[in-house]
């Protein structure tokens, strides 16, 4: 596979988890998980945070956890590499081909499209916001919440502060639950709310930015990252598909032993490779070491969400 070994798919310059007073997530849970997994981290108080990254304006009680090895996956490059690897292994890619219906067909499945019906012996479904629609013929309906989110790239007043060589990715663990990136892939930092959008369906979503959402983002950077203020370079909308516990689903389609499905529930991109392997193992062998109860489709938080 010529060239892929030198093709940069990631950028690891560190990540910050920021915990103001009364955070919505407990820092100790993060620290415990990192200790258990042997992840290196540093705990910084507000003064140490600001000394190292002066772009941050925070009050004294903010606690920061810095992970040196955290970073960013270059998503569209990573998708392109997955496509190229699939082609090299004999896959036929059919972009822009809508599956109208999946149904059991003997020991396998039939996938109807507008022009023909495809038959297969095993199947992986990764339809995210459209998952319930795709799996309705199997009697499956998960209590998914679909939100229209919006990410903004700013033409920052102080671009040097958001240089990806020095500025880490970050998450703000309080309401509004914010996250952002340095200038990576765009000539300005990205800032968004985690789960701040209105609830939609794939049919009702629009591609129009929401001014109320933009006001929350601008209010946050005005208070905490004033160097990021500037005209938006680009505002993009996208869909978040959330399970009630915001944990993944990796399982067999109910009633089958050769069809699997997976949901990344708004934080699954970084796991795409291992999710793909797991879903293929499930579809071909009916089992995978990753088919763990935490990601099962019949766990109580999905079957009895109330």
| Binding-site ranges for ligand FAD (CB under 6 A) | 98-99, 126-128, 130, 134, 149, 151, 192, 238-240, 264, 266-270
Q: How far is the CB of 123 from ligand FAD (least distance, A)?
A: 12
Q: How far is the CB of 225 from ligand FAD (least distance, A)?
A: 18
Q: How far is the CB of 264 from ligand FAD (least distance, A)?
A: 2
Q: Which is nearer to ligand FAD, 57 or 270 (CB)?
A: 270
> Nearest-CB residue to ligand FAD?
264
Q: How far is the CB of 126 from ligand FAD (least distance, A)?
A: 4
Q: Which is nearer to ligand FAD, 134 or 235 (CB)?
A: 134
Q: Which is nearer to ligand FAD, 168 or 268 (CB)?
A: 268
Q: How far is the CB of 146 from ligand FAD (least distance, A)?
A: 10
Q: Which is nearer to ligand FAD, 74 or 238 (CB)?
A: 238
Q: Which is nearer to ligand FAD, 89 or 98 (CB)?
A: 98
Q: How far is the CB of 245 from ligand FAD (least distance, A)?
A: 15
- Cβ-Cβ contacts under 8 Å for 228 (sequence gap 6 or more): 55, 154, 156, 157, 158, 161, 162, 180, 188, 189, 191, 221
Q: Which is nearer to ligand FAD, 59 or 113 (CB)?
A: 113
């Amino acid at each position: 596979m010529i060239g892929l070994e030198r093709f940069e798919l990631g950028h690891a310059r560190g990540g910050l988890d920021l915990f103001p007073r009364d955070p919505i997530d407990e820092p100790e849970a993060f620290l415990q998980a990192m200790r258990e997994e042997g992840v290196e981290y540093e705990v910084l108080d507000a003064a140490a945070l600001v000394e190292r990254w002066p772009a941050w304006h925070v009050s004294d009680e903010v606690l920061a956890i810095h992970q040196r090895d955290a970073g960013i996956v270059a998503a569209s490059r990573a998708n392109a590499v997955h496509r190229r690897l699939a082609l090299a292994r004999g896959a036929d890619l059919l972009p822009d081909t809508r599956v109208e219906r999946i149904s059991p067909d003997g020991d396998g499945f039939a996938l109807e499209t507008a022009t023909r019906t495809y038959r297969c012996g095993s199947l992986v479904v990764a339809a995210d916001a459209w998952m319930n629609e795709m799996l309705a013929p199997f009697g499956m309906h998960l209590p998914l919440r679909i939100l229209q989110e919006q990410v903004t790239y700013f033409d920052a007043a102080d671009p040097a502060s958001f240089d990806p060589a020095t500025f880490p990715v970050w998450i703000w663990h309080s309401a509004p639950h914010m996250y952002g990136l340095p200038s990576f892939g765009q000539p300005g930092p990205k800032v968004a709310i985690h789960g701040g959008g209105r609830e939609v369906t794939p049919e009702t979503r629009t591609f129009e930015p929401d001014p109320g959402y933009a006001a929350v983002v601008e209010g946050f950077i005005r208070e905490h990252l004033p160097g990021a203020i500037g005209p938006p370079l680009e505002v993009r909308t996208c869909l978040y598909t959330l399970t009630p516990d915001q944990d993944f689903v990796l399982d067999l389609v109910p009633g089958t032993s050769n069809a699997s499905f997976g949901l990344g529930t708004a934080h699954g991109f970084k796991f795409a490779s291992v999710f793909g392997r797991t879903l293929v193992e499930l579809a071909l062998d009916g089992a995978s070491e990753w088919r763990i109860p935490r990601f099962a489709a019949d766990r109580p938080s999905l079957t009895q969400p109330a």
